[in-house]
C-alpha cells in the first residue's frame, strides 16, 4: 500500500449509521468549510450553477458545488481563473468546490477522440482544435483551478459495454489513477480515485480494491447512471463499497433523481451530483411530491395552486402554477430561474430528511414513501 497523503484542512468524520441499511451521516471538512453528508452538489459546470447566483445557492443550504475542469480548461482558460485567485474567487463562491476531471466530457463532447495509454487526444467541441489531456495535465489543471477536491482522470464507458472493452478500460483507468496519484502534489486539495468496471461485478470489485490500495482520501463511483437499470446500478455500488475503506467519503457521480439518490444513500454513498434539477427546470419541469410536473401541460393554465403545497421554497410560497406556466410558455428567464430554485430546494430538503432519517432509524420508511411517489408518477 502507498503511504497515505496528508491534505491540509480535509477530513471526513462519520457521525451516525443506520441499523437496517448502509446509510450514514458525516461531516466532510474542507479548506472552505464543513459539508454535512449525505450531500447533493449542484453542478456549476462552467463556474456557475445555471440560472442561479452564488448567494442564492448558499441560501438554499448548499455548501459544496461541482465545476468541470474540462470546460474551464477550454474556456475561459486555466490561466485566467488562476490569475483571478482561483475558482472560488473567480465565481464568487466561498463554499467547497469539487472539480470533475473532464474524462466524461472528453468521451461525450470531444470530436475525433483517440484514447491511448498516454491520455486522450481529441478535438475541442468549441473550435475544433486538437488538444491532449493526460493524467498529469488533468492534475495540473485542477491544481491551478484551486478546487477543494479533484478527481482522477478516467475513461467512462457507455452502457452496455462489451466485456473485453470493459477489461481494457479497467487496466487503463488503474494506470491513469496511479499516474494521477503520483502527479498530484497540491497539499490544499484532496484527490479522489474513481472506481470503474462497467456493469461487471468482478471488474468493479477489482477496480475498487485497487483504488483502496492506492489509499486516496476519497472515492468516486463512475460509469454509473449511464442508461443501466437502477437495480444494476445499486448492485455495482454495493460491490464497490464492500472493497472501499468505510472511513473515507464515497461519491456517486451523476445521480440526482430523488429515489436513485435515496437508494444509493441506503447503500452507503455520501456525495452526489447531477445536472438533473437544473436541466429539467430549463425544460419546464419541477420536482414535486408526486414525481415530476411539466408546466407546459395545458392543465396548469388556470391552476392557481403552488407547484407543491408541501414545499416551502420561494417559488412555491410566492407564485402559482398558472403564473409559472405563463413564464415558461413566454420563455421568460424568471420562470426557469424559479423552477431551478424549487428543484434545488427539493434535493437539499431530501438530503436533510435523509440525514435525519439515519439518526432516527427511519431510512426504510423514507425510501418506501419515495418509491410510492415514483410508482404513482
C-alpha span between 66 and 110 (Å, rounded): 20
49: left (phi over 0), alpha (psi -120 to 50) or beta: beta
Neighbours of 220 (CB within 10 A): 28
- On whether the CB atoms of residues 302 and 322 are closer than 8 A, the answer is yes
Please say if 100 is a catalytic residue: yes
299: CB partners within 8 A, 6+ apart: none
Characterize 89-118 residue by residue with b for buried, 16 or more Cβ atoms within 10 angstroms of its Cβ, and e for exposed: ebbebebbbbbbbbbbbbbebbeeeebeee
**H helix or E strand, kind and range, residue 347:** helix 333-360
Cα angle 2, 240, 44 (rounded to 5 degrees) comes to 85
SS3 of residue 268 by DSSP: coil
- On whether the CB atoms of residues 248 and 268 are closer than 8 A, the answer is no
Instruction: Kindly state the cell numbers that stand for 6.
Output: 496528508
Please say if 94 is a catalytic residue: no
C-alpha span between 376 and 19 (Å, rounded): 29
- On whether the CB atoms of residues 159 and 236 are closer than 8 A, the answer is no
Backbone angles phi, psi at 302, to 5 degrees: -120, 20
DSSP-assigned letters across all residues of 144-163: HHT-SEEE----PPPSS--H
Backbone angles phi, psi at 275, to 5 degrees: -80, -5
Catalytic residue among 18, 257, 270, 273: 273
Q: Tell me the torsion sign for CA atoms 196, 77, 97, 264.
A: negative
Catalytic residue among 18, 100, 154, 270: 100
Q: Return the C-alpha torsion angle 49, 53, 56, 58, nearest 10.
A: 60
**H helix or E strand, kind and range, residue 174:** helix 163-183
**Residues annotated catalytic, as ranges:** 100, 273
Amino acid at each position: 500500500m502507498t503511504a497515505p497523503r496528508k491534505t491540509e484542512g480535509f477530513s471526513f468524520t462519520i457521525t451516525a449509521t443506520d441499523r437496517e441499511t448502509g446509510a450514514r451521516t458525516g461531516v466532510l471538512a474542507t479548506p472552505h468549510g464543513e459539508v454535512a453528508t449525505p450531500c447533493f452538489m449542484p453542478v456549476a459546470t462552467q463556474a456557475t450553477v445555471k440560472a442561479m447566483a452564488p448567494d442564492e445557492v448558499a441560501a438554499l443550504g448548499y455548501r459544496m458545488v461541482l465545476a468541470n475542469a474540462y470546460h474551464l480548461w477550454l474556456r475561459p482558460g486555466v490561466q485566467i481563473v488562476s490569475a483571478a485567485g482561483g475558482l472560488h474567487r473567480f465565481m464568487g463562491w466561498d463554499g467547497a468546490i469539487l472539480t470533475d476531471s473532464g474524462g466524461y466530457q472528453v468521451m461525450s463532447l470531444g470530436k475525433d477522440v483517440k484514447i491511448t495509454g498516454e491520455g486522450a487526444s481529441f478535438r475541442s467541441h468549441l473550435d475544433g482544435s486538437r488538444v491532449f489531456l493526460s493524467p498529469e495535465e488533468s492534475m495540473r489543471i485542477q491544481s491551478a483551478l484551486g478546487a477543494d477536491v479533484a478527481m482522477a482522470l478516467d475513461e467512462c464507458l457507455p452502457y452496455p459495454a462489451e466485456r473485453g472493452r470493459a477489461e481494457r478500460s479497467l487496466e487503463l483507468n488503474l494506470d491513469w489513477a496511479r499516474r494521477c496519484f503520483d502527479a498530484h502534489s497540491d497539499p490544499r486539495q484532496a484527490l479522489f480515485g474513481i472506481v470503474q468496471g462497467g456493469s461487471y461485478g468482478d471488474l468493479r470489485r477489482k477496480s475498487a480494491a485497487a483504488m483502496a490500495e492506492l489509499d486516496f482520501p476519497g472515492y468516486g463511483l463512475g460509469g454509473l447512471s449511464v442508461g443501466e437499470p437502477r437495480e444494476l446500478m445499486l448492485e455495482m455500488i454495493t460491490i464497490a463499497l464492500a472493497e472501499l475503506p468505510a472511513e473515507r467519503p464515497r461519491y456517486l457521480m451523476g445521480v440526482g433523481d430523488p429515489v436513485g439518490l435515496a437508494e444509493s444513500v441506503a447503500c452507503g454513498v455520501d456525495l452526489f451530483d447531477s445536472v438533473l434539477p437544473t436541466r429539467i427546470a430549463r425544460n419546464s419541469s419541477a420536482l414535486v411530491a408526486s414525481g415530476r410536473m411539466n408546466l407546459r401541460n395545458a392543465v396548469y393554465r388556470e391552476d392557481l395552486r403552488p407547484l407543491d403545497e408541501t414545499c416551502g421554497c420561494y417559488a412555491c410560497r410566492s407564485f402559482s402554477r398558472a403564473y409559472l406556466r405563463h413564464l415558461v410558455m413566454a420563455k421568460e428567464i424568471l420562470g426557469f430561474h424559479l423552477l431551478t430554485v424549487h428543484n434545488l430546494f427539493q434535493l437539499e430538503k431530501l438530503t436533510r430528511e435523509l440525514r435525519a432519517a439515519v439518526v432516527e432509524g427511519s431510512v426504510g420508511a423514507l425510501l418506501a414513501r419515495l418509491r410510492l411517489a415514483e410508482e404513482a408518477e
